[in-house]
Chain A
Amino acid sequence: MITDEELCAFADDMLDPVATARVRSAVEADPLLAARVERMRRQSAALHAAFAGELAKAAPPHLARLVQEGRAARSQAWAGWGQQAAIAAAVGLIAFGLGWSSRPASGTFDFDRRGGRVAGVLAAALEAQPSGDASSEGIAVTLTVPTADSSFCRVFTVNRYGRGAAGLACREADAWKIAAYAETPPREVGSEYALASGTLPDLVLEAAELRRLGDPLDPAEEREAIARDWRTTDE
C-alpha cells in the first residue's frame, strides 16, 4: 500500500533508496499510480518554469543598498507590529536567559480579573518603559497605540517563571487596565528560532481590532507621552 505522502516524496525524489525501490515497483505495476506520479512531476515542472525567469530579473537597487549600508529603517505603522512583537519577545528571552533562571523574581505583577486594573511590575513597565527596550522583570513593552478616545493602549509580552504571555493594556482614568491577556508558549531559552517566530496571540490582535486602534506611536511621540504621564489634554 502506497500512501499519498510516499507518492509525493517519490515524485520529488525525496525517499530513501529502500522506500524508492518499493514505491517504484508499485508504480510500475499500477498505471493509475504511474499517471499520478507523472501529473505531480508535470506540476512541479510547470511551477518551476513559471518562476524560472524571476531569478534573472533585476532587483530594486535599494534592497542591496539596505544590506550594504546595514541600514534598518524603521518600518512604519503596523508594519512593525509583528516585527516589534518578535523583538520584544527576543528581548524578554535574553533577559530571561541572563538572569531569571538563577535569580528568583523580586517583583510580581497582578491584575484584578474583573476590573483588569494593573498593579506591580507590569504597571511600572506600562507606565514608563519605552517600547522595544530591554525587558524589565521579564516584561517587555512592544508598542504603543493611540485610542479613538485620546488615550493609549500598549502591547506587552511577559516571559517569567518559564511561562509566556502577551497582552494589551489600555490607559483609563489614570490606570492601566487589561484589555486582553493570553498565555503564549514559553520561549525556549537559547534558541534563536524561538526569537524569530514571536507572534501575538489572536486574542490580543482581536482586542486591538475591537478597539479600532490606530497606528503605533513612533519613539519620539512615545517619549513625549511617557513624559506627560500619558495625559493628552492640556491642563
Chain B
Amino acid sequence: MSLEATRQELIGLIPRLRRFALALTGTHADGDDLVQDALERALTRLHQWRPGTRLDSWVYRIAQNIWRDRLRRARFRGLHTPIADAADVMGADGRVDAEAALRLSEALSALAQLPWEQRIVIALVQVEGFTYPEAAEILEVPEGTITSRLVRGRAALERLMAGAEKDL
C-alpha cells in the first residue's frame, strides 16, 4: 500500500477513532486530544506497521496505549479523569437531540466508572463492534481475558445504566 493510500485509510478511521476515544475519555475534547496523539504516533511509526495486517487494529492499539499512559500520568500528577459532561453531547450544528444526548451522557458517565481495563474492552466490543478475537489482538491479551473483562464490565454497567435500559 502506498503512503498516500495509507494516509487516506488513516483519515477514514478518524470518525471511528473519535467515537472510541470518546468512550474512553468521556469528553469530546479529551477524546480528540487522544485521537490527535494517536494519529501523530501512528504517523511517526508508519514504518512499523506491517502491510497486510489491519491498520485499524494497529491504530486502536496505539490509541489505547496512549490513553493508559495518560491515566498513569494523571494519577502521577494528582489529576482526575474528567467526568462526562452533559453539555458535551451537543451536536456539531449546536442543536441538542435531547434524548440522544441523555443516552450518550448516561453511557459516558457509566463507562467513566468502570476500571480502565473493562472500559477499553467494552469500548472495543460493544461500542466499536470488534469481535472478541479482534479485541484480543488489539490489546495483545488472550481471548479469555477479553471475555472475563466483558463479563465484569457488563455486570457493572448493568447496575450503572439501569435507568437507560428501562427507556428502551
Measured CB to CB, the residues of A under 8 A from B are 4-5, 8-9, 12, 14, 39-40, 42-51, 53-60, 62-64, 66-68, 70, 72-73, 75, 78-79, 81-83, 85-87, 90, 192-193, 195-197, 199-200, 202, 205-206, 208-209
Contacts and interface: CB of A to CB of B under 8 A. Distances in A.
Contacts of A58: 92
B55 to A, nearest CB: 12
B76 A209 contact: yes
A197 B65 contact: yes
B31 to A, nearest CB: 9
Looking at B15, B22, B76, B104, the one whose CB has the most chain A CB atoms below 10 A away is B76
B107 A205 contact: no
18 contacts: A9-B147, A12-B132, A42-B168, A47-B127, A47-B157, A51-B23, A54-B15, A59-B18, A64-B14, A66-B36, A75-B40, A78-B77, A81-B73, A83-B66, A86-B65, A192-B49, A195-B45, A205-B73
B54 interface: no
Size band of the interface chain B makes with A: 35 or more
B108 to A, nearest CB: 8
B7 A8 contact: no
B37 A43 contact: no
B144 interface: yes
Given A43-B161, A54-B18, A86-B65, A205 B76 contact: yes
